Amino acid sequence: MRATWNGVTLAESGETVVVDGNHYFPASSLRMEYFERSKTTSVCGWKGKASYYSVRAGGSTNRDCAWCYEDPNEAAEKIRGMVAFWNGVTVE
């Protein structure tokens, strides 16, 4: 699987985990030079607290387009530290 935005590959892995229709990529597969930690957080009733990243590529910024569960609830342990995308990021 590959995650791209604005002509740039953000992550690529053959070991994603699908949860709620989203592919979660291992942190080691991210091209961190494009990622910037955000102050945004949210809470999912069964997964726990999510932290967000914004992506800067090709002269543009996609705010809060990636998220991860650094310390998920037990039910979501398999996505601990993995990253998923939305908001215009293509995953295929």
- What is the C-alpha to C-alpha distance for residues 72 and 67, in angstroms, rounded to an integer? 12
pTM given for the model: 0.95
For the chain, count helices (H), then strands (E): 0, 9
- Under DSSP, the state recorded for 73 is -
12 by DSSP, 3-state: which?
strand
What is the rounded average pLDDT of the residues 68-89? 97
CATH of the domain at 55: 2.170.150.40
What is the rounded average pLDDT of the residues 31-38? 98
Confidence of residue 21 (pLDDT cuts 50, 70, 90): very high
Letter for the amino acid at 84?
A
pLDDT at residue number 32: 98
| Domains: count for the chain | 1
Name, in order, each residue with C-beta under 8 angstroms of 52's C-beta and a sequence gap of 6 or more.
38, 40, 41, 42, 64, 66, 67
Domain around 53: 2-91
Taking only the tens place, the pLDDT of each residue in 48-59 is 999 999 999 989
